[in-house]
Chains A and B, each alone.
Chain A
């Protein structure tokens, strides 16, 4: 990490060092290099967010019922897919409410994964803090939604099926719930790092066209991982908001 500044990081460091410093001071953190506080993955994260905002602003202004453009078709396809997944996983009644959160995560993770394929950029999801942020968001959201949907009854999820099993089940459940953000984080970032490493190793073993195959594989893995992240978010939300009916 931090061995080499990408051009976008350099740009941010040259012109936006002061706001980053202010933000870091506010959080009480000392930057590794105070003159150049932007790390590569933070800069890439900001870039991905910017791309998404611009893309959706363009999409919003071009929306049309009678003459839908190509972009609108693509995003209608993605939206229908997300909607269908939410219907299947969370349920017809509750599902559509949570498309916004899971879909946002899906788009962000997908763009974060795929931007690594573009030369001179690297995936922000290759560094543990970014997937950890997404996973913590999922963790907080599904617990809060569970509390909101079931009230104090949500705590029954942790106590196991029978009352006298509670002392045994409570630690197990707590640990398994805490392991969820960890496994989400590690799955995403290890997949991204491994994909990049495989490409690099094959680049050093062979000549310049062979690793392209592995970059294709990496694109496929990026899609699958974004999908998995979204599905698991939906499964966790679905598990938290479901009403116990037995």
Chain B
């Protein structure tokens, strides 16, 4: 089972490498590759935390007062878009630097 998992992961990495190797400009500057990966990981992780909090409290609010569901849903979608846009700013900066 374990070796199967390992083989699967290995195959995934082997298949994945061509996508990263295509960018010759980026591989010439390894620091940018590393930092952009870390930056995107931080941004999307923290964005997920924020969105999770927003979603949790809005689900709670709808459960308490289903009548206000439509208003809360509108505010939720708007808020999620705002939170997400911060992660996307990171993505744009990375895309500009890459």
Contact = CB atoms under 8 A, between A and B. Distances in A.
A205 B15 CA distance: 6
A205 B12 contact: yes
B77 A227 contact: yes
Given A187-B85, A194-B88, A228 B19 contact: no
A183 B83 CA distance: 12
Interface in B39-98: 74, 77-78, 81, 84-85, 88-89, 91-92, 95
Contact of B88 (A88, A190, A227, A232): A190
B28 interface: no
A73 B93 CA distance: 43
Interface residues of B, number: 16
Interface of B: 12, 15-16, 18-19, 74, 77-78, 81, 84-85, 88-89, 91-92, 95
28 contacts: A88-B74, A183-B85, A186-B85, A186-B88, A186-B89, A186-B92, A187-B81, A187-B84, A187-B88, A190-B88, A190-B89, A190-B91, A191-B84, A193-B91, A193-B95, A194-B88, A194-B91, A204-B15, A204-B16, A204-B19, A205-B15, A205-B16, A224-B77, A227-B77, A228-B77, A228-B78, A231-B78, A232-B78
Given A88-B74, A205-B12, A205-B19, 9 more contacts: A186-B88, A186-B89, A190-B89, A191-B88, A193-B91, A194-B91, A224-B81, A227-B77, A231-B78
Nearest 5 A/B pairs, CB to CB = A190-B88, A187-B85, A204-B19, A228-B81, A190-B92
